[in-house]
Structure 1
Amino acid sequence: MYASLNTRQTNIDRSSNPSCLYLIFAISCVTFLFDTMTAVEEAQFWQAIGILIKNYHALNKKIFEVVITQVKKHQDGRLCESSTEELSMTLKEVPNKRTCTGFTIGFKLLPKKLADNILGTGTVDFEKGLYECQFASDSIEDFSVRLLEGQFQLESKSNPNWLEFVLRPKLLSWSQSKQDEAKVKSLGLVNVEKYNDLYKELKQRHSQRLLEHWKTAQESTDPLKFIYEDLAIAAYLMVLWSQTQSEPNAFADLGCGNGLLVHVLNAEGYKGYGYDIRKRKLWSLYPPETQKSLIEKAVEPNNFRLDFPDVDWLIGNHSDELSPWLPVLAARLNINYFLLPCCPYELSGAKFRRRNTKISAYQDFFKYVTQVSHECGYEILQDRLKIPSTKRLALLGIKRKASKALEDLEYFVQEELRKYKTGDAEIKLREKEESVRNCTRVDKSIIDGLVLKIFKQILDSNEDKWSGRLPMRQIAQALTKEELSGIKSECGGIKTLLRNKHEVFEFCGGDLIGIKTPKPTAALPQSHLTIKKRSCFFKLHHPLGCPLEDAECSFIH
């Protein structure tokens, strides 16, 4: 079925969901205008198909990755063995220079949850300007893409919405994109199929128990993000170690935080330890073997010594201030390392100072840590992990050049500390007691005074008798430096203060702050109730008092 812009094909009940129908109609109009204004050239068409062949998983959230298993080219009426490299090169060639009429591609789709992989076949036909994709599964729809009069013509049997609102925008984007050959390929150092199978096994074995630990410990962090991220990193390391024949005698995770990665690797039979300056609540919930492997100890770069001589791998998993030090510490010990850098810091422990403002702060820091690794004498490997984090680039140092003198490394470190230190020359990473920066330790009289002043300021804006609204900028400008100084160093600004006083203020979209209208307890979710623990702010300070009766209000009248 051709993917038409006709809204009747969306199979949406217009009487029950008019807003959704309007949205689809608007998207259709935009897509139609973009299609008619942007003619796709043949080279752009085949560029988009080349990306589609390797990236079908970008169109289907149930698929983890595409693995090409076989490539054959159509030449002189026969099918001849070929390769993914030849396929990629031919898709980029000028038409009259091609030596074949097309390709047949065999591939596997690796599902995120299903146990079995899904086989598929893709057919490239240069003469017809056509790519067809067929799957050996009823759960995924076959489709075809053709270049017709400078436009993408999309066909499938029964899935026009997916064609129009998922596939077409991607193809248009891919056809216009500039391909970056230097971009690090995701999971380029490991067998993707083995990784996906192991990751699914680890989730099945560990995720439910770890979720229960999170609930018991009453951790404030998002369990799904941390659990699935560390399970993915564990799967990656296990496959990498087995492929490179570099399995550790023992590993040490520096700045291990909640110890989750250490626990999973220990449970999977890998001997290793975790170091962190502070013990976490989750540590006591792990098995005794893991608890013995978690060491509450500061990692001080200039005098740090491992407690276990058999460690031959260092791990830095979002290790913050320790990230630039990890290659240095590994070089001093002459062992391997895996580093997933996150928040950027200097060797001194100060916030990272940009070296190159033409790229993002994250890219700049990653390039810097790579430079440090080269100074340490490592042959660097890079990879891009598939984890629920925006910081996915990993560095690996598996082999260090014996000719690289440690004296040169120490000179480099001292020069970096001299150039980028802040204050005295002492290396200061992290305090044992974590500072609280959410206004909860600011003097209560300062908070009460600021809240009341801002409340009256908004009320005087006279939008109506009860409430009012003001831009954040105008609120901040009305406060003195002395008034702001009491909270700025603790929470970074007035916004956190207003959020903490959510029973008084509300964020109204954009930059606007308003006074919140109290709701009766019956209308509030059970989790939002604060029953009779504090005096009602509006009863005390609003000229009209609280609009609720005593029995309705969750605060004391």
Structure 2
Amino acid sequence: MGFVSKLVNATASPSLCDAMASITEAQFWQAIGILIRNYHALNKRIFEVVITQVEKQKDGRLCESSEEELVKTLQDRPSKRTCSGFKIGFKLLPKKLPENILGTGTIDFAKCLYECQFASDKLEDFSARLQEGQLLLESEQNSNWLQYVVKHKLLNWSQSKQDEKKDRSMRLVSLEQYNDLYKELKRKHSQHLIDLWKTAQESTDPLKFIYEDLAIAAYLICVWRSTTPDAFADLGCGNGLLVHVLNAEGFKGYGYDVRKRKLWSLYPADTQQCLFEKTVEPNNFRLDFPEINWLIGNHSDELSAWIPVIAGRLNLSYFLLPCCPYELSGAKFRRRNTKISAYQDFCKYIKLVSEKCGFPLVIQDRLKIPSTKRLGLIGIKRRPTIPIEDLEYFVQEELRKYRTGESEVKLREKEERVRNCTQVDKSIIDALVLKIFNQLLAANEDKWSGRLPMREIAQSLTKEELSGIKSECGGIKTLLRNKHEVFEFCGGDLIGIRTPKPMDQRLRARVTTKKRSCFFKQHHPLGCPLEDAVCSFIH
């Protein structure tokens, strides 16, 4: 490649490199195979990689090949290989740059060498080689990136279990079309929506919610390019942001929620007319517009399990992004399979519900959104192979088996009850906080901060002391989180006393500082370790 070489040695991360000081040829090519399809894991400015061309080197010449053959050859033993190497053309999709970046990867099996070059000076060319069991990386510059990022990833990938059938993100849409559209939606809508957030004085993080719903909108638009809806209905639409963006992009739709949100009155008039404050009662809910042929459940909580039921009853298609798992009764979801995560278990249950409601195939795709709950489920219009009577029988059996004692299905109430310990009498809260604080003090030796397991703290409190908060979400855990200036979660089940830190000078003007008395000044035997001028609280 003509590099001015800077050889990167394995001294940057001793613990990792000591544990993986030597790798085999099979492990090296496994890591390279993962790298080729996951360059975005090395660079946060890149959204995704698209392989555009694969050629194999055979008998001194290049001939057409495929990504499938490339993957298989990288996994084969050397004796089974039918070529001496590959040349791979790929395209990097940047998150912000307007133009995509072309790249070329070259595999040389004889030299155990992979070389990567980019048609842009914004990214660094590099090579990776296996020599006597050691992973060697070379580049013209930026050795720290190779040392701390590339090498770390390659060594981890060399030890990972191969799973080519693993559920990959965004399988149903063109990654390039999606990325271009997402960037366009951000350009058109993000600043205006952030301004609306400020006007409404929303307490939620605008960057998280706005960019997440823009990403969901971009995904749906890409899916709908092959099956355009006449109109959609977003059940449990919340702040109505997804409805607003999709309407603005030419997709007619409506949003229903049990409570009107502050943002609704700030949207344009045509969006406001499409948002309805209406309880979605699953057993008698009817849509107001006959043209609706798609349902959306975007983090719809208690309604999630009902989305395929309602879609089945009304003969509609649906898109569901499940979040908090609930039974059809509105009770918390009861695990069916403890061998997988609760979220995976719930998604599997949704597929079962969909099958019973007449959807023979439910497509699952993993979205790229700023949320840990990002598995999307799509049920295309049900087939009349299952009579509606069978659907209703299944629903009633589920309600009978998992009913919580209520005579009716109990979903979200119109007036949301505040359940974060803020409604508990202050004297009860203060007494509990002081008792737990003194308990932690007694458990330490250095007279400043002790640690105790949450279980031990809870067991030390009487029923009377806990009775005031036992109906609150999270109970004692929520209480401790709300008092974050006093307590800290130390990992696992351990709770400790937080050591006060000086106030950031940039935060002096914030109204949250200097409004309350310093807890440590009042209650810690050593007082507050901070001077009054740098403490966030009043001394």
SS in 2 for 1:109: strand
The one of 250, 274, 289 aligned to 1:293? 274
Tell me if structure 2 keeps the 8 A contact 1:382–1:394.
Answer: yes
Alignment of 1:61-76 (within 5 A): 61-76=44-59
Alignment of 1:81-230 (within 5 A): 81-230=64-213
> TM-score, with normalisation over the residues of structure 2?
0.90
1:250: which partner in 2? 231
Asked whether 1:283 is paired with 2:268, we answer no
Q: Return 432-441 or 345-354, whichever deviates more.
A: 432-441
Q: CA deviation at 1:150?
A: 1.9
1:264: which partner in 2? 245
Tell me if structure 1 keeps the 8 A contact 2:443–2:452.
Answer: no
How many angstroms apart in 1 are the aligned matches of 2:500 and 2:75? 61
Structure 1, unaligned stretches of length 5 or more? Answer: 7-24
Q: CA deviation at 1:4?
A: 2.7
2:14: which partner in 1? 29
How many angstroms apart in 2 are the aligned matches of 1:388 and 1:549? 39
Q: Return 516-525 or 358-367, whichever deviates more.
A: 516-525
How many angstroms apart in 2 are the aligned matches of 1:152 and 1:552? 49
The residue type paired with residue 267 of structure 1 is A
Superposed CA offset, 1:419-443 (max 9, x none):
1121134211111111211212113
SS in 1 for 2:224: helix
The one of 288, 297, 300 aligned to 1:316? 297
1:406: which partner in 2? 388
Tell me if structure 2 keeps the 8 A contact 1:458–1:515.
Answer: no
Alignment of 1:478-493 (within 5 A): 478-493=460-475
Q: CA deviation at 1:518?
A: 11
The one of 425, 435, 446 aligned to 1:443? 425
Asked whether 1:4 is paired with 2:8, we answer yes
Inter-CA distance 319–508: structure 2 relative to 1 (3 Å threshold): closer
Q: CA deviation at 1:469?
A: 4.4
Q: CA deviation at 1:94?
A: 2.2
How many angstroms apart in 2 are the aligned matches of 1:349 and 1:191? 37
Superposed CA offset, 1:366-390 (max 9, x none):
1111111122222221211111111
1:341: which partner in 2? 322
> What percentage of aligned pairs have identical amino acids?
71
The one of 354, 375, 394 aligned to 1:393? 375
Inter-CA distance 460–114: structure 2 relative to 1 (3 Å threshold): closer
The residue type paired with residue 266 of structure 1 is N
The residue type paired with residue 273 of structure 2 is K
Asked whether 1:48 is paired with 2:31, we answer yes
Inter-CA distance 376–551: structure 2 relative to 1 (3 Å threshold): closer
Number of equivalences: 531
SS in 2 for 1:527: coil
The residue type paired with residue 169 of structure 1 is H
1:57: which partner in 2? 40
CA RMSD after TM alignment? 3.0
Tell me if structure 2 keeps the 8 A contact 1:459–1:515.
Answer: no
How many angstroms apart in 2 are the aligned matches of 1:520 and 1:165? 32
How many angstroms apart in 2 are the aligned matches of 1:55 and 1:552? 45
The residue type paired with residue 497 of structure 1 is L
Structure 2, unaligned stretches of length 5 or more? Answer: none
Q: CA deviation at 1:307?
A: 0.8
The residue type paired with residue 387 of structure 1 is I
Q: Return 409-418 or 57-66, whichever deviates more.
A: 409-418
1:418: which partner in 2? 400
Q: CA deviation at 1:138?
A: 0.8
Superposed CA offset, 1:417-474 (max 9, x none):
1111211342111111112112121133423443454456566779789x66463645
How many angstroms apart in 1 are the aligned matches of 2:532 and 2:212? 48
Q: Which has the larger helix fraction?
A: 1
Q: Return 488-497 or 273-282, whichever deviates more.
A: 488-497
Inter-CA distance 454–172: structure 2 relative to 1 (3 Å threshold): closer
How many angstroms apart in 2 are the aligned matches of 1:554 and 1:47? 52
Q: CA deviation at 1:41?
A: 2.1
Superposed CA offset, 1:480-500 (max 9, x none):
111111112114233433444
How many angstroms apart in 2 are the aligned matches of 1:270 and 1:554? 49
Superposed CA offset, 1:140-159 (max 9, x none):
11111122112222111112
How many angstroms apart in 1 are the aligned matches of 2:498 and 2:24? 56
Inter-CA distance 408–66: structure 2 relative to 1 (3 Å threshold): same
Q: CA deviation at 1:361?
A: 0.7
The residue type paired with residue 494 of structure 1 is I
How many angstroms apart in 1 are the aligned matches of 2:444 and 2:86? 71
Asked whether 1:526 is paired with 2:509, we answer yes
> TM-score, with normalisation over the residues of structure 1?
0.87
How many angstroms apart in 1 are the aligned matches of 2:104 and 2:44? 20
The residue type paired with residue 298 of structure 1 is T
The one of 308, 314, 332 aligned to 1:327? 308
Q: CA deviation at 1:531?
A: 5.6
SS in 2 for 1:487: coil
Tell me if structure 2 keeps the 8 A contact 1:417–1:425.
Answer: no
